[in-house]
Amino acid sequence: TMPSIFSYQSAEVDWCEGNFERSTVIAEYYNTVRTTLFSFLLLTPLNFLVLEGRACARTEFCSYKLSLSLVGIFSMYFHMTLSYVGQLLDELSILWTLAVAYSFWYPRVYFPRWIKSRKHFFWLSGVTTVISTLMSFIKPAFNAYALNCIAFHLLYLTWCELKKCNDKRVHRMAAVMVVWWVLAISSWISDRWLCGLWQAINFPYFHSFWHVLIAMSLLYCCPLVIYFDVNYEMPSFKPKLGYWPSDSWPVVVPYVALEEPHKQC
C-alpha cells in the first residue's frame, strides 16, 4: 500500500545524515537542530533588524518576515519527519518567500517592457508562483535543484547593481555574501553527490552545514536588497550600510541606515 504522505520517511528526498541515530522521534537530528537553533531561532530574527526606522513596518517587510519564519518552521518539520508533506512544505515555503522578495523588491528598471507598474509585476509573480507550485508536485525531487538555480539570477542582479555603485561597503558586503553562498552550495552539492564518501568516513553532516551557511549568506543578502530598493523607491533617503555593534568586531550584524538629506530652502 502507498504510505501516508504524513508518514515518517515518505519523502522522495533523504539526506546523507543517518536517520533516527540520536533520537527516536527526530529523523535527521543535526539537520533539525541546526535548522532550529541557528538558522531559525538566531539568524532569522537578525534578518528582521536589517532596516532601521519606521520603514521596516511597511507591508512588504511584514510579509517577508512571515514567509521567512515559515521557511524555518517547515524546514524543521521536514528534517524531523522526512515526510512527503514536510518536503513540499519546506520547498514551497522557500518558493513563496522568493516570490514575496521578487514581487516587492525586484527593481523596476529590470521589468519586462510590457509590465507598466509594480502592481502588474506583482500579479505576474503571483501567477508564475502558482504555476510553479502546481508543477512542483510532478517531481518533488527536482524542486531543490530548481530553487537553487534561482540564486544565479540573484547573483546576476547583484552584479548589475554593483556596476552602478562605487560604495566600497556595498562591494564588500556583496563579496561576503557570495563567499557564504559558495560555501553553502558546495556543502549542499557535497551532501547530495558525495554521500557515499562522507558516510565512509562517518561525517555525513554537510546538509546541516548548508543550513547554517545559507542563513549566513542571507544575513548579508537582505541588507543589499534593501539598500538597492531604497535607492530606487525612497529617493528622499540616502541608504548607508553598517555593521552592529561595530565594523571592527569579528562577528557583526549588517544593517541599512537611512539618512534623510538636508533640503535647501
- The answer to the question of whether 262 is labelled as a binding residue is no
Contact status, residue 8 vs residue 83, Cβ threshold 8 Å: yes
257: three-class secondary structure by DSSP: strand
Comparing CA positions, the residue from 244, 212, 222 lying closest to residue 38 is 212
β-bridge mates for residue 258, sequence order: 239
Comparing CA positions, the residue from 161, 146, 149 lying closest to residue 105 is 161
β-bridge mates for residue 121, sequence order: none
How many Å is the maximal CA-CA distance in the chain?
Answer: 78
Comparing CA positions, the residue from 217, 157, 159, 221 lying closest to residue 187 is 217
- The answer to the question of whether 166 is labelled as a binding residue is no
- The answer to the question of whether 211 is labelled as a binding residue is yes
- Record the cell numbers describing residue 193, joined without a space: 553527490
Cα-flanking dihedrals φ and ψ of residue 191, to 5°?
-65, -35
- The answer to the question of whether 153 is labelled as a binding residue is no
244: three-class secondary structure by DSSP: strand
Owner of C-alpha cell 512527503: 84
Comparing CA positions, the residue from 64, 71, 62 lying closest to residue 92 is 71
Owner of C-alpha cell 532569522: 44
Q: Where are the alpha helices (DSSP H) in the chain?
A: 29-34, 44-47, 59-81, 84-105, 118-135, 143-162, 168-193, 195-200, 206-233
Binding region for Ca(2+) = 14-15, 17, 19, 28
Binding region for Zn(2+) = 79, 207, 211
Binding region = 14-15, 17, 19, 28, 79, 207, 211
